[in-house]
A and B are shown apart, each in its own frame.
Chain A
């Protein structure tokens, strides 16, 4: 186990964590402010990727494709909110789970219908392709560094908005007690739409950013959705700070766990069982972590609910 490998995996973990944060932030806000479980958040991530792939050939320019895809992502999200999700806000969580599950089925199949089932890809923009030598002997892909930077920038911007602007204050208040905010005269429907639209854009943004290095295929949102839910549950629903910390934690635990599980297990058992048990434990690691956190803190690390 070399130091280089460790650093690379830590950076990969950070990158995954920040990606997860982009998705989890929208999810936790929607759930926190609107008390709405949105399983369709994962397909919004997927749609972002597909939209970027769609707009790229026409513009030949990643930035333009990014802008168009973000706008389209937001538009589609708002259409979804208006047409379907709006009718579910007052329903119980079970109904929301099933309805948004139905949306997942529809959209996963929908992209297969439009773009086919074969994985698609997007080229990394010229100036960010290639690798950077962070240390002698340590080459790291520039694009992943871009993702990390973009993630941190978004986190900082989000923090700024939530902590220092009026809208942000309303969002924080809404996450704590939406009924009270409404009773104080705030148009709660508009607030919901803003929150939802924003969350959708964040998810789409994550999808767009990951498209150059991951294959874009139907169902790519499903696994990341589960991870995102694990993040918000551990972080505490409604808490952006919780989502940030939990996302980094999960990103690191999952990445480092998968890379080094077998090696760590080899310290205590023979190579052959370690090779069998290792990957299994690595996949389960974040769920074990979540179970542990929920056992000790049944409402997550930074619960926001004032209700």
Chain B
């Protein structure tokens, strides 16, 4: 995926300022930056929930800049949300089965019990297993703990057979143990498909990222390998500080 010169203003506020970066196949590209740097706005533009004012987004060889969100998702662009976004009244299994369904042919089928479709349930269970949730399959999603909801988000994203996964602060609000579990899960997924990880937790970022881009006031301050970014003077001054590992 490639983002070229993306721009977005909200009135007087420039949220995205000529942002250009790309994600190579199989890599995990982290986007970091202080609060208010425009990270979530950037993600929203990539997945299609906000329209940019200028610039292009190229994905899977296609210019998707004008495509609505559901069409991008159908192309393989999957995302998890910073504020957990699941279907609370559906069971955990059904949440993921719906995602599987999105990739399994048409949903304009009006007859036939969908909850009996093994072709949907089996891959859903597999995705749940990857996320460590298979024991909670029958529970209503609203009964899940915060960390389990995060894992469900990842399971949903996996079930979508993504060609690119956008992760919007998956560690947000997670305790130490949960963060560890998520890091392990994400490192297992690395390499299967490219991922863009927006995150604050530096431990996770430096443990997982192949490349890091630093966003400040909507602009890319620096972009490169973790080593490069860690030692970049401007990044240290603006964001990392000298006390970090």
Do chains A and B make direct contact within the complex (CB under 8 angstroms)? Answer: no
